[in-house]
Amino acid sequence: MNPRTIVTCAVTGGDDTGFKYPSVPVTPEQIANECVSACKAGAAVAHIHVRNPETGKPSMELALYREVVERIRSSGSEVVINLTTGPGARFMPGDAGVNEVGKGSNLQSPAERVKHIVALKPDICSLDMGTLNFGKGTLVNVPRHIEAMAAEIRKAGVKPELEVFDTGHVALALDMIRRGLLDPNPLFQAVLGVPWGAPATGETMMLFKTLFPKGSQWAAFGIGRHEFPMLAQAMVLGGHVRVGLEDNLYLSRGVPAKNNAALVERAVEIVRLLGSQAATPAEARVILGLR
């Protein structure tokens, strides 16, 4: 078990939950404020998507990312900023024509998916390491696109957080590390419980741990009701953890979380009860080798 455990808070996410749940932040000001308050509650890292302030739906607008990042930086918060590069991969095939793209697809080029990383240079950004069925559609991340995104992320001086939803994604990451396309000191994030990715079980998490290079930093989290059980599993196995309204809307069965800070406070309590301490942003930077 790590003596210092990094708690990440994923404050809003990329699903269509904006305005449907009052606790989910939507505007850049709300998102930035949630990042700052999550840090005050004990999170060292804030994982950030943005939303259209008028509709609440997921967005990829650079201006929205810029406002969130500038608000956090001007607030004086030391929270480690982690921007997503996941949007732009969703594919919904049509049912009639050959190569038909259905409603709900948002496929974008690798350059478009990382333009906010290049412009804003956060501390960390997520990088999805493979394709998977996701709900009723598919998230398409083919190797050459991942490689192109990784190259731009490296040029920007940003540390990629390698999101792995299944074991084949780890295999691709290891191959890219071997070929010098990814940082030789990687940060892995195992995502458990997403339909239809790796299940949220202790056995699955142990399998992921055995696949990660010895000595590498890794974290894991579970979706929905699996959030806190998977947090405990990750801690016991020596990993870091993640909570937040992107992944789970409830503190316990039938009890909605009023904000991200409430989820972070619960996470910090579990971390302490299991014998570790939540890392400060400064400690997280040292652990992850950030500049």
What one-character DSSP code corresponds to residue 282? H
Question: Is 206 a member of any domain?
Answer: yes
Domain harbouring 156, CATH code = 3.20.20.70
In terms of Cβ atoms closer than 10 Å to its own Cβ (0-12, 13-18, 19+), residue 203 is: exposed
Question: Is 97 a member of any domain?
Answer: no
Question: Is 66 a member of any domain?
Answer: yes
Question: Is 138 a member of any domain?
Answer: yes
- Rg (the chain; Cα; Å): 18
Question: Is 57 a member of any domain?
Answer: yes
Can you point out the beta strands (E) in 49-158? 50-51, 58-59, 80-83, 90-91, 124-128, 132-134, 137-139
Q: With contact defined as beta carbons under 8 Å apart, do 159 and 290 qualify? A: yes
Overall domain count for the chain: 1
Give pLDDT, residue 87.
Answer: 96
Give pLDDT, residue 102.
Answer: 86
Question: Is 65 a member of any domain?
Answer: yes
Question: Which domain does 68 fall in, by range?
Answer: 4-92+104-288
* Three-state secondary-structure class, residue 263: helix
Asked if the peptide bond before residue 218 counts as cis, ω within 30 degrees of 0, the response is no
- pTM of the entire structure? 0.96
Question: Is 134 a member of any domain?
Answer: yes
Rounded CA-CA distance 105/123 in Å is 29
Q: Which helix (H) or strand (E) holds 146?
A: helix 143-155
* Three-state secondary-structure class, residue 233: helix
Q: What is the mean pLDDT of each run of 10 residues along the chain (291 residues)?
A: 96 89 96 98 98 95 98 98 97 85 92 98 98 91 98 98 98 98 96 95 97 96 97 97 97 96 98 97 97 78
Q: With contact defined as beta carbons under 8 Å apart, do 90 and 130 qualify? A: no
